[in-house]
Amino acid sequence: MQQNHNVTMLGTGLIGLFYTMTLHGQRSRDRVRAVYSRRHRRAAAFAAEWDIPHATSDMAEAIRHRDTDTVVVGLPNHLHEEAVRLCADAGKAVLCTKPLARTAAEAKRMLDIVESAGIFAGYLEDLVYTPKTLKALASVKRGALGDILWARSREAHSGPHSDWFWDPDQAGGGAIVDLGCHCIEIIRNFIGKGIRPAEVICWADTLVHPVPAEDNAIGLIRFANGAMGQFEVSWSFRGGMDLRDEVAGTEGTIWLNHFLRTGFEMFTSGAGGYVAEKADQDTGWVFPVGDEVSELGYTDMFTDMFDAMDHRRQPRETFYDGYVVNAVMDACYKSMRTKQWEPVELDDWRGETNPRPVKGIREEVGGMQLMKREHMPDGRVKLILRDKETGAVVQRFADA
């Protein structure tokens, strides 16, 4: 049965704004009834803008507010654990923004808190809920791509919008913890969240900004079934926000471009104005986004979260998923230092223990293993074959 949910919003920055826009604009039966900001003036201004009855700079008061049943955590990373603990004490459902925590140990404590308290908990990883991603995942689930061999996810822009993001003590890291968390969970969704991430190797460096955190990184994730994940993140990319995913399987390929090429292109030398999140310019050729909260996944994300609450099921993204992502990022940071492959340390693994290895072509032709079948310009079909006994590779034509 569908219910109307009343929300306490913790945080009034960009993410709190997007979350409130989504709740009030799309699934409008759910409303923000209380808002918290560390600065009371900001809380009051946000409440006035969004017609929110109660504003406060006291986090515990906001969470315990008698008119709300659900708490959305849109705070800096170092405040997540405290907020989740207060939600558990209040017996309130909690939805926490990405990344779940700064480290896997912190994430595991948060997971234990909500499970011990028996409260509903959802991980707000919006980019696995974009319309294109949901449709792509449905195709993968149907078997359209066969076995998934490789998934690549890229997020790049000119840097975070808030000061605390640039402080690794508050954030837990740099571009990896800010953007890599998105990419890792996208990769896990395509390869299969039941397949354990086994080890990673990661390069990262501070190339542009005078900060003690990485502003660029590339990582490889090897999964227990042999599949590979690859992520690329940057705080120094110019030209907007680059969100792209590629998935390759034994039977097909998917390419996704979520933000830079939206099908909406405009040239202006006039007043300009807001174009889209992380847009670097508002004149010249620009690429606006029609329904930003939908294209970024917020609409389907909150629909899934509240529907899961209503029907007493798990959402697509849970605190456990957030914990796994944090464990992968921990391994990435270790690999940055050691410059070698590092294991993903998961004290609590709930997926498959002996997954089936990914398989490619298993067809035989004339007692030989088929490597490739290719249509040639003259209409003939060429076969690349391998002798099972000698290992020799030969080519033949299908009509020969």
Instruction: Using CA atoms of 88, 89, 93, 98 in order, give the dihedral in degrees to the nearest 10.
Output: -50
Query: Token pair of 151, please?
Result: 């998934």
> What pLDDT is stored for residue 269 in this prediction?
82
- CB-CB contact of 303 with 294 (8 Å): no
> What pLDDT is stored for residue 282 in this prediction?
77
Question: In order of start, what are the domains of the chain with their CATH numbers?
Answer: 6-125 (3.40.50.720), 128-343 (3.30.360.10), 364-397 (no CATH)
pLDDT tens-place values along the chain, 400 residues long:
668 899 999 999 999 999 999 999 855 689 999 999 999 999 999 999 999 999 999 999 999 999 999 999 999 999 999 999 999 999 999 999 999 999 999 999 999 999 999 999 999 999 999 999 999 999 999 999 999 999 999 999 999 989 999 999 999 999 999 999 999 999 999 999 999 999 999 999 999 999 999 999 999 999 999 999 999 999 999 988 899 999 999 999 999 998 877 777 778 887 667 766 666 777 777 777 777 778 889 999 999 999 999 999 999 999 999 999 999 999 999 999 999 999 999 999 999 999 999 977 778 898 899 988 899 999 899 999 999 899 999 999 987 5
> What pLDDT is stored for residue 26 in this prediction?
54
> What pLDDT is stored for residue 28 in this prediction?
67
Query: How far apart are the two ends of the chain, measured CA to CA in Å?
Result: 65
Question: How many whole angstroms separate alpha carbon 76 and alpha carbon 56?
Answer: 17
**What's the whole-model pTM score?**
0.91
- CB-CB contact of 157 with 278 (8 Å): yes
**Across the chain, where does the E strand assignment appear?**
6-10, 31-36, 54-56, 70-73, 93-97, 121-124, 148-156, 197-205, 216-223, 228-234, 242-249, 252-257, 266-268, 284-286, 342-343, 364-365, 368-375, 381-386, 393-397
> What pLDDT is stored for residue 281 in this prediction?
77
> What pLDDT is stored for residue 314 in this prediction?
97
> What pLDDT is stored for residue 286 in this prediction?
78
Amino acid at 338: T
- CB-CB contact of 316 with 45 (8 Å): no
Task: Say which DSSP state 393 is in.
Answer: E
Query: Token pair of 66, please?
Result: 């008698």
Question: How many whole angstroms separate alpha carbon 166 and alpha carbon 161?
Answer: 9
Angle, to 10 degrees, between the axis of helix 40-50 and the axis of helix 14-25? Answer: 20
Paired with 57 in beta bridges are none
- SS3 category, 196: coil
Nearest to 9 by CA among 90, 61, 71: 71
- SS3 category, 48: helix
> What pLDDT is stored for residue 261 in this prediction?
73
Cβ count near 151 (within 10 Å): 26
Asked if residue 99 has a cis previous peptide bond (ω within 30° of 0), the answer is yes
> What pLDDT is stored for residue 289 in this prediction?
75
> What pLDDT is stored for residue 400 in this prediction?
53
